[in-house]
Amino acid sequence: MGSPFKNSPFKEFDDLRLSFNHIKVWYTSGMGFFTDAYDLFIISAMLDIFGTQNLPGFHLTPFTESLLASSALITAVLGQLTFGFLADKFGRKSVYGIEATLLALGALLSAFAPNIIWLIIFRSIMGFGIGGDYPVSATIMSEYANVKDRGKLVALVFANQGLGSLAAVAVGAISAYVLPLSIAWRVMAGIGAIPAASVIYLRRKVPETPRYAALVKGDYKEAQRSATFMGTKLQANNVVSKKLSFGQFLGKYGALLLGTAGTWFITDIALYGTGIYSGAIVTSILGKPPSIGYEIVEQGVPFTVGFFGYFTAVGLMDRLGRKWIQTQGFAIMAAIYAIVSAILVTSGTKVTGFIIPTTEAFAIYALSYLFIDFGPNTTTFVIPAEVYPTNYRTRGHGISAAAGKTGAAITTYLFPYLLTGIGIKGVLEMLAGVSIVGALLTVFFIKEPKLKSLEEISDEETVEKQSSQSQ
């Protein structure tokens, strides 16, 4: 039988003050998420171009439009599950940098795609890399972070999505204004390779995390070297994390997994449905703009509002707690979707007007992005990196993230059909309902990790290290 974690060797590590080395790990971990958000917005702009321009080889049908929008999301699920397994099995360092290479390669090749089929293939490669980045980067940051600032640091990794969104708005609008649209979309796609490529070398140089080295490998010498990288040391210990079969893991953590995976699934239904097809939603509110460049700017307004949500979450994560931020985010999202739906005037599935001024309706809708980012879009990333034991941490995160991207892929693929079948009003009513479910899942199935060590919050069980293990 395992025993509860006592006499933690990581106490000095957990008590560290925030330092430059923490920031260095943040930068190394965060650039993949810059590209993830950049891609979320830029594919919307690319779909607008393909939908309005008769570009040879890039004609959209409902099927190819749905597949192009969702292909990276589908392969992201595979990446999250694959890298989540590999990083627990062989170590965080053993795979770190591979996912960034795939991400950068897929984005770069997308810029040179000769037709829509190859574009879908290249974006699928990119999606596999994006997926792999989730569990590994989140876990590396959480296992290197101090307790006081852990929520902030892991959230800050994810907040690179806010920077990626703003970059995508700028690149999309400028490219559409100054370049022929047949070239502009290629520039939009290719620039996504730059941030990921910038950290490939740094990722390969990051040492194995002290927790994985000590508790999974049983190599306390390697763990001490990793602690030295952060300017501290570990206390002597002779225990490793208790090995669990997957059945035992589900028996102990199954309800928690339902909470982290279920809330992420619901979050991405809202985020990607309204994000990738923001053009259709914004146009239904504001009307058709005079040019694609202007349309991209209009679509970027909600993403810009959401930018402030990311960093509000960062600032308050370790004060208010993850669970409170997630619950209030879902509740306010539900209210906003319900309000916007209620003020729509429709004829069948077509929007004909609003019962309040259009600009006010648009402002209310844009606020949903603020509270999804100062809410479940950030916390669903942070929590799974904290609540699972060391030898299942990347798998727990990977499964949760894969559930999210599954929700994203489903809603992205179905969204064109939903817009035709039930219209914007029906879609918003649906999103209000699922947001309420997300709030309930958070209340009943999520633990609060604030200001607790990873071993305490995950209820890590240990056993004596066998003499045959690394010394």
Give the H/E segment covering residue 346: strand 344-347
Asked whether 21 and 231 are in contact (CB, 8 A), the reply is: yes
Residue type, 244: L
Specify the higher pLDDT residue, 161 or 452: 452
pLDDT in tens, 45-84: 888 888 888 889 998 888 888 888 888 888 999 999 999 9
Band of pLDDT at residue 468, cut at 50, 70 and 90: very low
How open is the CA angle 34-36-40, to the nearest 5 degrees?
115
Asked whether 271 and 372 are in contact (CB, 8 A), the reply is: yes
How open is the CA angle 197-203-208, to the nearest 5 degrees?
165
Mean of pLDDT values over 263-279? 80
What pLDDT does 359 receive? 77
Res 413 pLDDT > 80: no
Asked whether 239 and 122 are in contact (CB, 8 A), the reply is: no
Q: What are 74's two structure tokens? A: 């589908």
Residues 6+ apart with CB under 8 A from 382: 138, 151, 154, 155, 158, 317, 322, 449
For 181-215, b/e burial (b = at least 16 CB within 10 A) is beebbbbbbbbbbbbbbebbebbeebbbbbbbbbb
The helix/strand/coil state of 90 is coil
CA distance 295 to 291: 6
How open is the CA angle 163-335-43, to the nearest 5 degrees?
35
One of 1.25.40.10, 1.20.1250.20, 3.50.30.10, 3.40.50.150 is the CATH number of 8-447, namely: 1.20.1250.20
pLDDT in tens, 113-145: 999 999 999 999 999 999 999 999 999 999 999
Mean of pLDDT values over 196-209? 90
CA of 32: how far to CAs of 26, 159, 440, in Å? Answer: 11, 11, 31
For 236-249, b/e burial (b = at least 16 CB within 10 A) is ebebbbbebeeeeb
Kindly report the three-state secondary structure assignment for every residue of 68-87. HHHHHHHHHHHHHHHHHHHH
CA distance 253 to 45: 41
Specify the higher pLDDT residue, 188 or 408: 188
How open is the CA angle 172-376-421, to the nearest 5 degrees?
65
Asked whether 223 and 207 are in contact (CB, 8 A), the reply is: no
Task: Give the chain's mean pLDDT.
Answer: 88
Asked whether 441 and 259 are in contact (CB, 8 A), the reply is: yes
Q: What is the pTM of this model?
A: 0.89
CA distance 348 to 425: 10
Q: Which region among 50-59, 80-89, 408-417 has the lowest average model confidence (pLDDT)? A: 408-417
* Side-chain half-sphere exposure of 161, counting CA atoms within 13 A: 31
CA-closest candidate to residue 214, choices 457, 458, 13, 451: 13
Q: What are phi and psi of 350, to 5 degrees?
A: -95, 135
Q: What are 299's two structure tokens? A: 């679509």
What pLDDT does 275 receive? 65
Domain locations in the chain? 8-447
- Residue 313 is given by DSSP the state H
- Alpha-carbon torsion (449, 261, 73, 373), positive or negative: negative
Where do runs of H (alpha helix) occur along 111-245? 116-144, 150-178, 181-191, 193-197, 200-205, 210-211, 220-229
